[in-house]
């Protein structure tokens, strides 16, 4: 079987913050099991867009706004991935503008079924323990479901089955429950991606 490709999509405006730290924990678990891993930083791949937000300029989407730009490379990468792990801080009870823009502009990928049966999981970090983490996770899961992805929580057979995904309180390095959950999510992502590999058209 070819090596699995797992991509982390970091929606935080801070490349080395709480979200990034937790994504790295999950990705290390995937890499340790043999997956190739890649990171996408939404803020960077949106930088060369004339308008970072989808303007619904064509229907169906032609992708002309990001042709030959950084988003083209990012979308090509996730279109080849077996699994995605999305990460976002909590902003007003939901995902960051950067992550939302990244997915709003991905309409052409949806038309082409590029993410169909790709495995997905979600990680978030908020300022307080009950600071909108679950609604943020659900927003990420909704975006993945629209693409026809296979969503997993942070459960794993040999660990506590967990809930929706990883919900951290910053600073995430000090949230040992979230660190553990991120690693469990990484194991689950790899396991399900391996088991469903034949469902993805590559």
pLDDT tens profile 181-192: 999 999 999 999
CB 152 within 8 A of CB 121: yes
The predicted pLDDT at position 195 comes to 97
Long-range (24+ apart) CB contacts under 8 A made by 126-133 are 126/89, 126/90, 126/167, 126/168, 126/169, 126/170, 127/90, 127/169, 127/170, 128/169, 129/169, 131/90, 131/169, 132/90, 132/92, 132/93, 132/94, 133/90, 133/167, 133/168
pLDDT, mean of residues 61-85: 94
pLDDT tens profile 165-179: 999 999 999 999 999
pTM over 0.75: yes
pLDDT, mean of residues 43-57: 92
- How many residues in the chain? 202
pLDDT category at 157 given cuts 50, 70, 90 is confident
pLDDT tens profile 102-126: 999 999 999 999 999 999 999 999 9
Place of tokens 């991120």: 182
Listing DSSP states for 109-150 in one string gives HHHTTTTTT-EEEEEEEESSTTSSHHHHHHHHHHHHHHTT-E
Instruction: Check pLDDT > 90 for residue 83.
Output: yes
The predicted pLDDT at position 162 comes to 81
Instruction: Check pLDDT > 80 for residue 3.
Output: yes
pLDDT, mean of residues 31-55: 95
Q: Structural domains in the chain?
A: 5-199 (3.40.50.360)
Q: Which of 185, 191, 198 is nearest to 155 (CA)?
A: 185
Two tokens, residue 124? 């978030």
pLDDT, mean of residues 128-153: 97
Instruction: Check pLDDT > 80 for residue 161.
Output: no
- The mean-pLDDT minimum among 42-46, 53-57, 105-109, 136-140 falls in 53-57
DSSP 6: E
């Amino acid at each position: 079987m070819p090596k699995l490709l797992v991509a982390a999509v970091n929606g935080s405006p801070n490349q080395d913050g709480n979200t990034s730290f937790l994504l790295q924990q999950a990705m290390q678990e995937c890499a340790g099991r043999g997956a190739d891993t890649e990171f996408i930083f939404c803020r960077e791949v949106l930088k060369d867009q004339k308008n970072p937000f989808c303007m619904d300029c064509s229907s169906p989407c032609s992708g002309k706004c990001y042709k030959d730009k950084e988003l083209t490379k990012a979308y090509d990468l996730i279109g080849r991935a077996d699994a995605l792990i999305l990460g976002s801080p909590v902003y007003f009870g939901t995902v960051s503008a950067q992550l939302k823009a990244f997915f709003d502009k991905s309409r052409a990928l949806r038309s082409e079924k590029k993410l169909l049966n790709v495995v997905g999981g979600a990680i978030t970090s908020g300022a307080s323990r009950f600071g909108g983490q679950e609604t943020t996770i659900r927003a990420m899961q909704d975006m993945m479901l629209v693409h026809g992805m296979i969503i997993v929580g942070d459960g794993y057979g040999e660990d506590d089955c967990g809930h929706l995904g990883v919900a951290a309180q910053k600073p995430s390095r000090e949230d040992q429950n979230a660190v553990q959950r991120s690693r469990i999510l990484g194991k689950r992502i790899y396991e399900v991606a391996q088991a469903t590999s034949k469902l993805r058209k590559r």
